[in-house]
């Protein structure tokens, strides 16, 4: 291959990384992410969830957060749903912490981590991360079923003196969480709802 041919080949390869190349629209990019999440995390088979709900399927959240290419895009889409004026994001342990950290990196907002257990006399706090009273906080969740775990985290955050205004999740399973959040004065937004996320033939 001549030097000229080599230059042409290199230019063609590098054009893949060119900022001016055609990019997917937000809609198509979200659809692509949906397919990747489905392939990575969807599991068939009867399961009894911690929330008490029984389903013939579930989404393995740890298989979502374990993939950097998925986690990076999730952070971008979730970050776009954080309202202006937010002071901090928060995430309950364990699975949502990786997503909360990714959103924190994407937005530059500090992160609070909400423990699943209660505070005790050993110095263990319900919320870690250096909260300041009066901060506006958005809770980041992974998979929301009934919303009870998120509401418990919201309670702990509010008891710590901050103002929680919304919950933002990756997947909403359509089990009434939205109504429960509304009753608590919380806005709610999710990237995906199971009716649009499930493979054909699964309900």
Task: Say which DSSP state 143 is in.
Answer: E
Q: Which of 163, 177, 106, 113 is nearest to 140 (CA)?
A: 113
What gap in Å lies between CA 152 and CA 96, rounded to an integer? 14
What percent of the chain has pLDDT above 90? 64
pLDDT at 109: 98
Structure confidence by residue, pLDDT tens digits, 60-119: 889 999 999 999 999 999 999 999 999 999 999 988 999 999 999 999 999 999 998 766
DSSP state at residue 84: T
Between CA 174 and CA 167 the distance in angstroms is 15
> DSSP of 7-69, one letter per residue?
HHHHHHHHGGG-TTS----HHHHHHHHHHHHHHHHEEEEEEE-TTS-EEEEEE-HHHHHT-HH
- Are the C-beta atoms of residues 116 and 95 closer than 8 Å to each other? no
Q: Is 75 helix (H, G, I), strand (E, B) or coil?
A: helix
pLDDT, residue 102, reads 98
Q: Are 120 and 148 in contact (CB under 8 A)?
A: no
Low-confidence ranges of the chain (pLDDT < 70): 1-22, 50-51, 118-123, 201, 203
Residue 119's pLDDT is 60
CATH topology (fold) of 24-197: Rossmann fold (3.40.50)
Q: What is the DSSP letter of 147?
A: S
Both structure tokens of 196: 């649009």
Is the pTM of the predicted complex or chain greater than 0.85? no
SS3 state of residue 168: strand
CA 176-178-183 angle, to 5 degrees, is 100
Q: What is the pLDDT of residue 89?
A: 98
**42 forms bridges with which residues in the sheet?**
59
Residue ranges of the domains in the chain?
24-197
């Amino acid at each position: 291959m001549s030097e000229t041919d080599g230059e042409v080949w290199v230019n063609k390869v590098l054009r893949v990384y060119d900022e001016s190349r055609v990019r997917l629209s937000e809609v198509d990019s979200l659809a692509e992410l949906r397919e990747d999440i489905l392939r990575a995390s969807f599991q068939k088979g009867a399961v009894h969830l911690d929330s008490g709900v029984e389903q013939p399927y579930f989404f393995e959240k740890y298989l979502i957060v374990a993939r950097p290419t998925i986690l990076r895009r999730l952070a971008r889409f979730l970050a776009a749903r954080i309202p202006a004026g937010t002071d901090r994001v928060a995430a309950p342990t364990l699975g949502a912490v990786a997503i909360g950290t990714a959103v924190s990196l994407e937005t530059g907002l500090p992160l609070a981590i909400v423990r699943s257990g209660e505070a005790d006399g050993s110095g263990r706090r319900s919320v870690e991360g250096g909260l300041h009273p009066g901060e506006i906080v958005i809770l980041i969740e992974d998979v929301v079923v009934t919303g009870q775990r998120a509401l418990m985290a919201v309670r702990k955050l509010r008891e710590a003196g901050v103002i929680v205004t919304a919950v933002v999740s990756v997947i909403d399973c359509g089990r009434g969480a939205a109504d429960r959040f509304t009753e608590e004065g919380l806005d709610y937004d999710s990237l995906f709802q199971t009716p649009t996320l499930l493979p054909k033939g699964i309900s």
